[in-house]
């Protein structure tokens, strides 16, 4: 079957129809009804593990994130849904399967996701993650097989099986999630939260404007941000402060368990790859921080924004824009801030001289849709990460 049409319409038709409400300046009534002011991700409790699906594109830091999640008893991982991103799906899928085998968690279903973004050609980051996605670290071919359901359908059916209970932890491009929302127009009301590694309010890492995960599929990202699902955004504003060092590798190597040894192998190769490529920074644990933010949101400081995604800019496609009554030069007293939040109009670009159109109004008043991580306790994060992987 034509993969472009197996979800009921072509990807381009899906994006066009899904973006129509955004361009018109409003969300659907169902999405607005579900919209709420987000707080930091609820911390799981040991007595009641939190159900999650992890959408990922392994990827060095994705591999660490998966291992962290699988070593965290607070989480009940309902599934892992690889997507093309850091490297093609032909590599992200077996890399995910390798991680569940290394962690001894072959009970977790792995569902293959999208091979390409919704409307764009795939751009990968092999220059960062190595040609195999794991910095060049080699592991045996996985024996475990993925489930037969494609990732968007797997997300849909699993969320419907446990409505209101499953948080999506997304650490790759958002293609799978956008397609799942297309499959089921009511699905957004059954997902309590998305904890996302993606975006930035302080500049990009693949272009000056855009963070990689959002850049790869900005149309999918915009659909997700506009869905009404509360979002916790762990972006470059904080993940740039999580460099993996030789000291961390030595700690991983000191523990004699398969997870720590695999993580040390990946870390060693990733650091070596960075140095050979001439990078002056250590590999950042972007995706692991998103998992850690769900496990312990107190590791980060948060600020509420209305976040939207640029999709049409030649130089800025994939940029995440944070609107706030107190951002930049808009700082106000507490009383004035409250009034501004009630009256702030969220606008698109100014009209041109060649048209009679007015500036598009994306929202007629400020309602935050995203809780953005602004600061991080890096030492505390690495204690959590390395401690879980080593078992110490």
pLDDT in tens, the chain (392 residues): 444 444 444 555 555 555 444 444 334 433 433 444 444 444 555 578 999 999 999 999 999 999 999 999 999 999 999 999 999 999 999 999 999 999 999 999 999 999 999 999 999 998 888 889 898 999 999 999 999 999 999 999 999 999 999 999 999 999 999 999 999 999 999 999 999 999 999 999 999 999 999 999 999 999 999 999 999 999 999 999 999 999 999 999 999 899 999 999 999 999 998 898 888 889 999 999 999 999 999 999 999 999 999 999 999 999 999 998 877 676 777 787 777 777 888 888 888 898 888 888 888 888 899 999 999 999 999 999 999 999 98
- 16/31 Cα distance (integer angstroms): 18
Q: How much is the pLDDT for 225? A: 98
Burial class (CB in 10 A: 0-12, 13-18, 19+), 66: buried
Please list the alpha-helical segments (H only) found in the chain. Answer: 11-24, 29-34, 60-70, 89-102, 126-129, 151-161, 175-183, 212-216, 218-225, 236-239, 246-254, 258-276, 286-295, 334-343, 378-390
- 101/265 Cα distance (integer angstroms): 15
Q: How much is the pLDDT for 15? A: 54
How many Å is the Cα radius of gyration of the chain?
20
Q: How much is the pLDDT for 14? A: 53
Helices 258-276 and 89-102, axial angle in degrees (round to 10): 140
195 sits in which H/E element: strand 194-197
116 to each of 6, 37, 83, 103, 236, how far by Cα in Å?
Answer: 14, 32, 8, 28, 23
CATH number of 39-314+369-390: 3.90.245.10
Name the CA dihedral angle for 235, 240, 241, 243, rounded to a multiple of 10 degrees: 130
Q: How much is the pLDDT for 12? A: 54
Burial class (CB in 10 A: 0-12, 13-18, 19+), 315: exposed
Strands 194-197 and 231-234, by their bridges, are parallel
286 is catalytic: yes
- 59/85 Cα distance (integer angstroms): 8
Choose the catalytic residue: 34, 269, 286, 365. 286
Q: How much is the pLDDT for 6? A: 42
């Amino acid at each position: 079957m034509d993969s472009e049409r197996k979800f009921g319409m072509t990807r381009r038709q899906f994006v066009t129809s899904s973006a129509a409400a955004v361009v018109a300046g409003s969300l659907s009534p169902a999405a607005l009804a579900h919209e709420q002011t987000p707080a930091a991700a609820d911390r799981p409790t040991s007595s009641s593990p939190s159900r999650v699906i992890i959408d990922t594109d392994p990827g060095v830091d994705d591999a660490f994130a998966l291992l962290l999640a699988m070593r965290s008893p607070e989480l009940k991982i309902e599934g892992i849904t690889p997507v093309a991103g850091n490297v093609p799906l032909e590599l992200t899928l077996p890399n995910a399967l390798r991680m569940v085998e290394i962690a001894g968690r072959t009970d977790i279903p792995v569902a293959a996701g999208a091979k390409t973004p919704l409307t764009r050609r795939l751009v990968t980051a092999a220059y960062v993650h190595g040609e195999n996605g794991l910095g060049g670290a080699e592991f045996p071919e996985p024996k475990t097989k993925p489930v037969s359901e494609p990732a968007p359908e797997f997300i849909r059916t699993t969320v419907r099986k446990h409505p209101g209970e499953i948080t999506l932890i997304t650490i790759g491009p958002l293609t799978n999630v956008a397609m799942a929302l297309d499959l089921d127009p009511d699905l957004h009301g059954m997902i309590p939260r998305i904890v996302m590694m993606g975006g930035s309010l302080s500049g990009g890492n693949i272009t000056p404007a855009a963070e990689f995960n959002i850049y790869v599929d900005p149309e999918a990202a915009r659909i997700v941000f506009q869905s009404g699902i509360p979002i916790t955004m762990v972006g470059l504003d904080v993940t740039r402060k999580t460099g993996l060092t030789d000291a961390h590798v030595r700690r991983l190597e000191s523990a004699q368990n398969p997870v720590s040894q695999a993580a040390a192998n990946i870390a060693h190769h990733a650091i070596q790859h960075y140095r050979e490529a001439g990078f002056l920074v250590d590999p950042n644990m972007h995706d692991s921080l998103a998992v850690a933010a769900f496990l312990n949101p107190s590791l980060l400081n948060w600020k509420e924004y209305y976040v939207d995604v640029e999709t049409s800019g030649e130089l800025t496609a994939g940029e995440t824009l944070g609107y706030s009554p107190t951002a930049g030069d808009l700082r106000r007293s507490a009383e004035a801030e409250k009034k501004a939040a009630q009256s702030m109009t969220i606008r698109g670009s100014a009209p041109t001289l060649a048209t009679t159109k007015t500036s598009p109004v994306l929202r007629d008043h400020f309602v935050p849709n995203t809780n953005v991580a602004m600061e991080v306790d890096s030492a505390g994060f690495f204690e959590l990460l390395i401690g879980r992987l080593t078992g110490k």
